[in-house]
Chains A and B, each alone.
Chain A
Amino acid sequence: MANLYLLDKAIGQNALPIAAQDKGAKVVLIQDGVYLETEPLRAAGAEVFAIGQDVQKRGIAGSLPSYVKVIDYGQLIDLVFANKVINFS
């Protein structure tokens, strides 16, 4: 069971550097969290996801880094049940 960080933008910014230190962390960008600069997470080897609905609404699908996996809310629920949730959303 990995730590699953849920990051919205405002307070998720605080958790992002913590997640980058957390070996094996999974990170889900949710709501305005899809705007976050996630390169430190990629560099640390974290698995990064973004909620597709939140990406589409903000029109940024084309600018998401290729390492970010777009998921739907059903897949988010699967992640929530399979991991330890650290909520910053």
Chain B
Amino acid sequence: MAQRHVLFTFSHDPYGSIWYTEGLRAVVGVTSGIDEHSVDVVYLGDGVNFLRKNVDRTDSNKYLGTLSKLGYGLKAEKESLDAKGLRASDLADGVEIVPRSGVLELIQKADLTIDF
């Protein structure tokens, strides 16, 4: 398989399920291997709760560190943040805020999407 561009969307709250951290493990997996696919990672709806500044990321830090070394960051949909009253100052360092139209652009750009 040739290199693909994969969009990962995260819509589940952190904790109470393993979606938030297993999804990040999957992102790392997709960027690894012989094809080294490229990725975007965007948080929607309740998923943005993972991006709050003081969330305990003990079980996700190794994945986030790997993605950071590869040059990949995390994106949040602005409308989802607005719905929860969250501002940039409430979020962890390095989170990029994109408008809904920007998320649609990420969907258009992706060869495939995977949701967690």
Contacts and interface: CB of A to CB of B under 8 A. Distances in A.
A21 interface: yes
B5 to A, nearest CB: 12
Contacts of A15: 9, 44
B104 A22 contact: yes
Question: How many B residues touch the partner, as a band?
Answer: 10 to 19
A21 B104 contact: yes
Contacts of A85: 112-113
Contact of A87 (B12, B47, B114): B114
Interface string A58-89: 00000000000000000000000000111111
Contact of A11 (B103, B112, B115): B115
Interface residues of A, number: 16
Interface string A1-19: 0010000001101110110
B109 to A, nearest CB: 11
Contact of B107 (A14, A18, A89): A18
B79 A88 contact: no
A18 B45 contact: no
Contacts of B107: 3, 18, 22, 86
20 contacts: A11-B9, A11-B12, A11-B44, A11-B45, A14-B44, A14-B45, A14-B80, A15-B9, A15-B44, A17-B79, A18-B104, A21-B104, A22-B104, A22-B107, A84-B112, A85-B113, A86-B107, A87-B113, A87-B114, A88-B11
